[in-house]
Amino acid sequence: MENVEKVKNLIDLRIKAKLGGGEKRIASQHAKGKYTAHERIHLLLDDGSFEELDMFVTHRSTNFGIDKEKYLGDGVVTGHGTIDGRIVFVYAQDFTVFGGSLSETMALKICKVMDMAMKMGAPVIGINDSGGARIQEGVNSLAGYAEIFERNILASGVIPQISAIFGPCAGGAVYSPALTDFIIMTEKNSYMFVTGPKVVKSVTGEDISTEDLGGAAVHASKSGVAHFKAVDEEEGILLIRKLLSYLPQNNLEDAPLLSCNDPVDRLEDSLNAIVPDNPNLPYDVKDVIHAIVDHDEFFEVHRHYARNIVVGFARFNGASTGIIANQPNFLAGVLDVDASKKAARFVRFCDAFNIPILTLVDVPGFLPGSGQEYAGIITNGAKLMYAYGEATVPKVTVTLRKSYGGAHDVMSSKQLRGDFNYAWPTAEIAVMGAAGAIEVLEGKNIAAIAEQTEKAKYIAEKTDEYKEKFANPYQAAAFGYIDDVIEPRNTRFRVIRAFQALQSKKVVNPLKKHDNIPL
């Protein structure tokens, strides 16, 4: 009978642990439209796959009478399970226990699953819903954060790290997600900031709401901190599952190869006419992407941030591929500070995790102006150049229309070790556009013509001459900078054939401790 009682006691303790801070606080969590930590994990993982660890951990602090209040699990649920049959490690902060605040023991639990994820070579997913450091624990809580940060840093580029922000994430807590690969935020219930509205008001006098300071909309569109903005937690969890389907388990593996019944040689006649005859008219580069990838499926990253460049994942003949494309539909596809940072980060992620890169180019140059210069367009543009230049994964580039000046070099040019560089017949590869070039080349001659009709005629003739020579891909092809000029409707086939040819590519960068990218 004694053994029976012990088993019953175990079962009772497990039930108690899963209740976190109790029924009343769970009801409060639900009233806010939020799930509990256990509910989130079970939504995220395959049914019945979750194995919880450290369920019986409690805090060790005695400060300010906190020793009189203890909860099993101490505010975070940790363990492992599977997503689409592939192992992942996960932790979810429990807001029903001390507001999800981080204690020494909570940090130890999180660090344990991160260490295990590294040992097993599996992704780690953190679900954040926390009031910050547990004040009663003082420096021990701060040390706990730093232990997590160090693991984030060492895991970077080794295993995928994904952060879901499903509640508050403030102060030092924001830096762990910031060190991970992808951040998902939800509308209304999640926010991130280093200092809250009250501190901002007292220090700077600025009166601002929580949502305007650090809500999902702000971080998805203005700061670029959030890679995905979800309507609710269900959508956020679906995004995580979808994202992982494009990623390998670790940096020594390849992403899953899916069977594909979308014909490799499928022709897209619409692409032959998608680029407007007028070079100043826009078109949506996403129409090009959807037309050439498997089953029209494109998983966009950073959709709301720096919309002049598009990045995301797709598949070609079942193989996961990262896509970077200038977007003529927004700011004419020009490269600016934000677009450069966005694309550089994405290129480096793909390179770290063996994901081939397709670059679609239609770029008129870097955005001019004092605002961009003061914001460091030189350094930030160099980040993108550096990312492409150091990347050793297969790189295929297709120039659709404009490729001018330094922006041509930056966008995975042949000189930055582009493997296959193709161009559509509509491509214009030159130092600058025809109008600007004629101003520079013929400025004195133009100024010497007094009669306006003659001046206009001369400008038109010289512009046509420049266009004939440079507003096409053939001069670049003559020097071997473009490997082939391809028919637009045949792009899917040529891209897939290029990546197939590159499957055995081996490039090793010079031996070094680490690089010094211009941060």
Give the neighbor-by-neighbor strand order of the sheet with 76-83: 51-53, 76-83, 86-93, 124-128, 161-165, 182-186, 228-230
What is the spatial distance between Cα 88 and Cα 278, in angstroms, rounded to a whole number? 50
Catalytic residues: 171-172, 406-407
Q: Are 362 and 402 in contact (CB under 8 A)?
A: yes
Residues 417, 377, 177, 298, Cα dihedral to 10°: -60
What is the spatial distance between Cα 128 and Cα 176, in angstroms, rounded to a whole number? 10
Tell how strand 309-316 and strand 319-326 pair up.
antiparallel
How would you label 45-74 residue by residue, b for 16+ Cβ within 10 Å and e otherwise? beeebbebebbebebebeeeebeeeebbbb
Q: How many CB atoms are located within 10 Å of the residue 143 CB? A: 13
Helix spans in 375-413 (H): 377-390, 405-410
Q: At what angle do helices 337-352 and 377-390 cross, to 10 degrees?
A: 20
The tokens for 249 are 């388990």
Q: Are 215 and 208 in contact (CB under 8 A)?
A: no
